[in-house]
Chains A and B, each alone.
Chain A
Amino acid sequence: MDMTVLLKRVPDLVEDLEVDDSGKALDEDSVSLKLNEFDDHALEEALLLKEGGGGTVTVIALDGEDVDKMLYTALAKGADRALKVMGGDPDGGNQALAGIFVAALDGHGGDLILTGVQAADDRDGQLAPRVGALLGRPCIEVVTEVNPGDGKVTVHKELAGGVVAEYEVDLPAVLGIQAARQTPRYAPVSRVRQIQESATIDTVTSAATEGAGFTVVAMTPPETGEGAQMLDGVDELVKVLDAKGVI
């Protein structure tokens, strides 16, 4: 099975995000970008599928700072090919990004395209179903398990309440991965460095695509409402629990 994994970088939430002077975007100085954790799961699931039943894994991402390292890391983990799209707007939203990826993949992307179920900055829908719709392929989101079959895959989709629905999906298809069957693997730095010496990253120029047809007018940290009453130490916490009659 030939697979493509779409990788997207998102602001790392361990940072204290701040709004810039325009009041409409994140302050770049407060942001560090990292691979969307769900995309990392998508890559892991693809690698597991390849190891289980053969095939190839191509990873694709938009160009940007440290993107090479991210792609080399994916190669070090076992991806076969890395493709970098030059000139795309990383803040253009998923509508634009889906178009860019589909064009860069020449409308193909192999038997199965995988990406993260969602990302922290999804403001105009999710990448997987957008790509699926552009390619006219079936798409399932919130996938936690993929089992290959003959010309199809059987997937587990998480619904609410811990219930999982099982579907059979004809290939080619697109999947939004919630969690891989195992924790995404670690790529030792020495291997990443080694790959960096030997492997190449293919590049392709971004197609011009239409972005979200609406604009952000304001970005603010959430209103805290009344907010939490802050306690000073465990003693006060005990008093609260006592007052609620639970201890």
Chain B
Amino acid sequence: MAGDVLVLAEHFGGSLGDITFELLGMGKTLAGEFGGTCTVALIGGSDAMAEELGGADLVLRLGGEELADFNPEPYGEALLAAIEAKAPRVVLIGYTSMGMDLASTLAVKTGRNLASSCIRVEGGERITTTSQLYGGKMDVRSDLGTAPCILSVLAGSAPADAGRHDGAPTVENLDLPATAGRVRFKRFIEPEAGDVDITAQDILVAIGRGIGSKDDIEVAEELAEALDAAVAATRPIVDAGWLPKTRQVGKSGLKVKPKVYLALGVSGAPEHLEGMKGAATIIAVNTDKNAPIFNVAHYGLVEDLFEVCEELTEALEDR
């Protein structure tokens, strides 16, 4: 329908991800503005998941157990079928690892416009989106006009609570289309255990590219020790092999909510912010006063991170 919204549910390990509820909350608001309905497409989900989606006007189920594990090919075909069946004005997909496989593909297949990395969506006669681009350094507002579209939305752009509602939603089943079977899911590889669990720490000392070299991580580790904290890192640090994957915070890493998140030399790319903006207190140290991290930080210090590390370590040891 012309004013409807379709939200793609995301799940892993048998439960729905926060992004589902964030998108659902967002979708309901939009549908309200359009005077339409909000449908959730649940691909490969379970009954239990469907029951959590009480906030939706309709839960459209495609496949079950056999599609429990994400596979871009059948998921893409299923979502295409859902779009064709419901012809929504807006399709909301998370800008996540799963969503990235689907949104662009569907944009091509449906001929719809796609705005990515959205953090805000304004409905009405025309649809206006705000995308966070250039490593979080610019907000780009786009006018998508009145045509039906697909929006890929950054995790954490809307509160998940707005999408959480009890109550049995209306469920409709849709047959899965056949797929070519060119992509075959093999297995999940869990991160190696045994390292510190950064999601369970009260304080995290997070390092970004500003640390400069592997050797200098020592400085952060000393500070972490003085703070009784653990060292976490941004993706580039982990990609460079300077710290294990278990320390990565962000989109492809872990989501953390410590009491204090001390970000050292972290610029604040959206992918990283996604993983840490739930921290109770964020303190950022960066030499670049324009670094986007200062926009989400509660406290900021424009200084060389090494000087701060050393002074702070000393100050703590003296206490």
Contacts and interface: CB of A to CB of B under 8 A. Distances in A.
Is there direct touching of A and B in the complex, by C-beta distance under 8 Å?
Answer: yes
B181 to A, nearest CB: 8
A13 B100 contact: no
B144 A214 contact: yes
B189 A167 contact: no
A156 B189 contact: yes
Contacts of B114: 95, 124-125, 212
Given A123-B142, A126-B116, A129-B102, 4 more contacts: A11-B134, A123-B140, A141-B100, A246-B203
B186 A217 contact: no
Contacts, number: 263
Contacts of B260: 241, 244, 246
Nearest to A129: B104
B159 to A, nearest CB: 15
Contacts of B105: 129-130, 132-133, 139
Interface string B125-152: 0001001111111111111110101001
A220 B152 CA distance: 20
A225 interface: yes
Interface stretch (A73-81, A82-90, A231-239): A231-239
A221 interface: yes
13 contacts: A94-B104, A118-B100, A124-B113, A124-B115, A133-B107, A134-B108, A139-B72, A139-B105, A160-B253, A229-B299, A229-B300, A233-B301, A238-B316
Nearest to A121: B133
Nearest to A162: B191
Given A125-B114, A154-B186, A246 B202 contact: yes
Interface stretch (A55-63, A175-183, A189-197): A175-183
A246 B116 contact: no
B134 A138 contact: no
Contact of A160 (B12, B115, B136, B190): B12
B170 interface: no
Nearest 5 interchain pairs by C-beta: A228-B300, A133-B108, A125-B104, A162-B191, A129-B104
Given A219-B139, A244-B281, A247-B319, A228 B298 contact: yes
A162 B116 contact: no
A214 B189 contact: no
B299 A237 contact: yes
Given A130-B108, A220-B139, A229-B300, A165 B133 contact: no
Contacts of B300: 227-231
A247 B101 contact: no
B191 A163 contact: yes
Interface in A94-116: 94-95, 98
Nearest to A124: B114
Contacts of A138: 72-73, 182-183
Contacts of A94: 104
Contacts of B282: 228
Residue of B70, B252, B282, B312 with most partner-chain A CB within 10 A? B252
Interface string A157-171: 111111111111110
A221 B152 CA distance: 20
B21 interface: no
B64 interface: no
A22 to B, nearest CB: 13
A158 B252 contact: yes
A223 interface: yes
